[in-house]
Amino acid sequence: MRLATAAVALALALALPAAAAPPALGAAADALAAEIGPPAEGRRALALAVETRAPSLARPLEAALERALAGAGYTVTPVRGAADAEGAAREAGQDWLVRVQGGLVPGRRELALVGEVIPTWPSFFLQRRPGARAIPPRLVSSRAPADAEALVLAREGRPSGAPFAAVRPLGRVEGRVLALAIGDAGGGSAAIAAALPGAVVLLSPAGAPLARFDVDPSARGAVRDPAATIAVGDFGAGRVAVAWAGGAPEVLALRAGALERAGALAAAPLCAGEKGAVFGAYAPGTGVLADALARAPGTVPPRRSARLLYGVAAAPRGGPVSFAALGTDLRLELLGPELQPAELAPSTSSSTAPVLPSVGTGFALADLDGDGVAEIVASAPTAAPPDRVRVLAARPGAAPLLESGPVEGAILAGAGGDLTGDGLDDAVLAAIVRGPGGVATELLLVTSDPREAP
């Protein structure tokens, strides 16, 4: 009976750490251990030194590696804070030092580990050179998709004194970008979709062109100020939906690296996030939208008011502010997942949506700081140059979280989504600039990823 109880306890003790290990950390550690391989020539004593950019990642990663290396047959001794880890390992009589550095891959939601496998046993033939390595060291590495736990642990803190978010150029698109969206367009990872008057272009998170779909703008009804809406999400036949003012909404699909027309929609796709898409319609003859929003692409409901809308944005991950509608009066209405008035505090509910009174027309929702409530990333609410990037909390009356320096051009479109791969939302804004070669669009990345901090 005792034996059985002890066996169960031992089994539980062995099972518990494995169950508690974040899957991404465990997978990366297992892969690295497999790369290192089983102990050679019975040399099992292994010192493990782990370094990470994010301090909170170091201990859990060390534990995961210790478990994985133990499973491979090593006796693992962690080495922490030693200035000379290799010397410490030699002094302690270890056979190996495995020095591992880990962190998130920039621009991707991946955890990467790089290890140096350094022999530390004394060599009979190198007695006169005590520091010499018996055999050459080798490098090993592994990667695993970063899950939520890994993202939490690997996220670096914002440097002291750093602004709420950084703004930097991401790329340049020839022509005027009318609308932006971010999401998985069918390639398996995040991409930026941009609607121009005569094309839809798909860009990588770094701003590099991936695919392009050209259309004939003259086939549409004339609109004085060209406008478009674009969304990336599940639209049945494809994952990119676009509607130009004066034209019919359509669905595009990414097939074999090329964008193709895949279907049509009855209503204009205005935006999409984890909470789904929002559909609407242009006010006749204009580039702005009627105040009639729907969650499905069927018939658009009657107008809520005579108000006109510049656009509607979706928070990539939903939350209490899942959508926001910007009127031509520059008032931004904050909406919940079912387009109801957003409830900004758990106990509050109202029949009228909270409103931010003065928001520029190039805007996006993005939870930059990961607190679960999207911020508003927007242009300046003025027609006079220069333009600026502003980050606003989703609270009426709150001071701006960020106001950038002057930005060249006019910011007239935006979208939110994770482009840096840190697991938190970023935003991209489209600044229209005029140069000798004509109109172009500078894409600006707005992110609170500490790796992008100035």
Helix, strand, coil percent values for the chain (each to nearest 5): 15, 40, 45
Shortest distance in whole angstroms from residue 447 CB to other proteins: 19
Shortest distance in whole angstroms from residue 340 CB to other proteins: 22
Q: Is 355 in the site for other proteins (CB under 8 A)?
A: no
Tokens representing 108 are 């991707």
Alpha carbons within 13 angstroms on the beta-carbon side of residue 202 total 26
Q: Is 385 in the site for other proteins (CB under 8 A)?
A: yes
Q: Is 336 in the site for other proteins (CB under 8 A)?
A: no
How many angstroms separate the CA atoms of 336 and 308, rounded?
A: 20
Q: Is 256 in the site for other proteins (CB under 8 A)?
A: no
Give the residue, chosen from 234, 329, 338, 371, that forms a contact with other proteins under the rule CB under 8 A: 329
Strands 96-104 and 45-52, bridge-based pairing: parallel
How many angstroms separate the CA atoms of 157 and 142, rounded?
A: 24
Near other proteins in 398-427, by CB under 8 A: 409-412
How many angstroms separate the CA atoms of 25 and 61, rounded?
A: 6
Give the residue, chosen from 362, 416, 417, 423, that forms a contact with other proteins under the rule CB under 8 A: 362
Q: Is 248 in the site for other proteins (CB under 8 A)?
A: no
Q: How many residues bind other proteins (CB under 8 A)?
A: 46
- Residue 191, SS3 per DSSP: strand
Give the residue, chosen from 222, 248, 296, 398, that forms a contact with other proteins under the rule CB under 8 A: 222
Give the x-and-dash track for 431-450 against other proteins (CB under 8 A).
---x-x-xx-----------
Rounded to a whole number of angstroms, the distance between the first and last alpha carbons of the chain is 64
Shortest distance in whole angstroms from residue 404 CB to other proteins: 11
Q: Is 302 in the site for other proteins (CB under 8 A)?
A: no
Burial 99-135 (b: 16+ CB within 10 A, else e): bbbbbbeebbbbbbbbbbbbbbbeeeeeeeeeeebee
Per CB under 8 A, which region of 7-15, 31-39, 126-134, 372-380 contacts other proteins? 372-380
Q: Is 284 in the site for other proteins (CB under 8 A)?
A: yes
Closest Cα to residue 433, out of 451, 414, 448, 412?
412
Q: Is 310 in the site for other proteins (CB under 8 A)?
A: yes
Per CB under 8 A, which region of 47-55, 249-257, 265-273, 279-287 contacts other proteins? 279-287
Angle ∠(269,273,276) on CA atoms, nearest 5: 65
